[in-house]
Amino acid sequence: MATRTLYQKQADKRTKTALKLRARRDAKARKYATALVSALAGAADAKARPDRINLLYGVDISTETLLVHDLRTAGLAGTLTGTMAASTPGEEVQFLNPTADGNGGALLALEALFGELAAAIPTTGGGTASGSTGPGTTAPVAHDVTLNGPDASDR
C-alpha cells in the first residue's frame, strides 16, 4: 500500500469532520422540526379554549398569536411532517473514495471554514514582553475547532 501524503491525510480529516458536522446539524434540524410540529399541534388544541370562551360569553378574545396563525395556515406542520417522513437520518450513504495526491503532496493552507487557525503567529520584535527570543520567531496559538450553532450549542 502506498504511503499517503500530508495532502491526502488533510483531505480525509477535513472530510470526516465535515460529515460529522453535517450529521449533527441534521439531527438538530430533525429535533427542532419535530418540536415545531408538536408545538403547532398544541397550539391548535390551545385555540379551542378561547374559541369556546368566545362562544359561551359572547366576547372576542384572540384565539392564537399572529406567528402561530401564519405557521398553521401556511401548512408548515404538514410540510415538515411529510418531509421528515420521506427522509431518514443517515440516508445518504457516503463512499469515501481515496483522495488523489494533489498539490505535490503538500498540505493546503489552513482555513477558518474548517475551524483551523494558524499554528503560530509571527512576532516582530525581540522584546521580552512577548516572550519571543528574536525577530521572526513564533508564538504558539491554541487551536479552537469547536463549531457552534447560533445558540452556542454543539449538540
Q: Residue 131 and residue 138: Cα distance in Å, rounded?
A: 10
The predicted model scores a pTM of: 0.62
pLDDT of residue 91: 74
Domain ranges of the chain: 1-87, 109-145
Q: Which residues of the chain have pLDDT under 70?
A: 1, 118-155
Q: Are 77 and 41 in contact (CB under 8 A)?
A: yes
Q: Residue 135 and residue 15: Cα distance in Å, rounded?
A: 37
pLDDT digits (tens, 9 = 90+) for 67-96: 999 999 999 999 999 999 998 877 777 777
- Cα 45 → chain centroid: 32
Strands (E), the chain: 120-122, 138-140
pLDDT of residue 103: 87
